[in-house]
Amino acid sequence: MLIPKADRKKIHEFLFREGVCVAKKDFNLPKHPDIDTKNLYVIKACQSLTSRGYLKTQF
């Protein structure tokens, strides 16, 4: 999925600052509660970082 660079930067900055990111698996949620971007972008960015081995997904 193509994520705008500004939104991707916000997600990565949040991860480096906080060290953890929690995203509800609700693809229709209009905005992430902590990051000023769409929840879908956060889910897909975390999925991408997980597949590269940079994040760990925990339920």
DSSP string spanning 4-52? Answer: -HHHHHHHHHHHHHHS-----S-TT-SS-SSSSS-HHHHHHHHHHHHHT
| CATH label of the domain that carries residue 32 | 1.10.10.10
The pLDDT tens digits of the residues spanning 16-59 come to 999 999 999 999 999 999 999 999 999 999 999 999 999 999 98
How many domains does one find in the chain?
1
pTM for this predicted structure: 0.90
Indicate whether 10 belongs to any domain: yes
Indicate whether 58 belongs to any domain: no
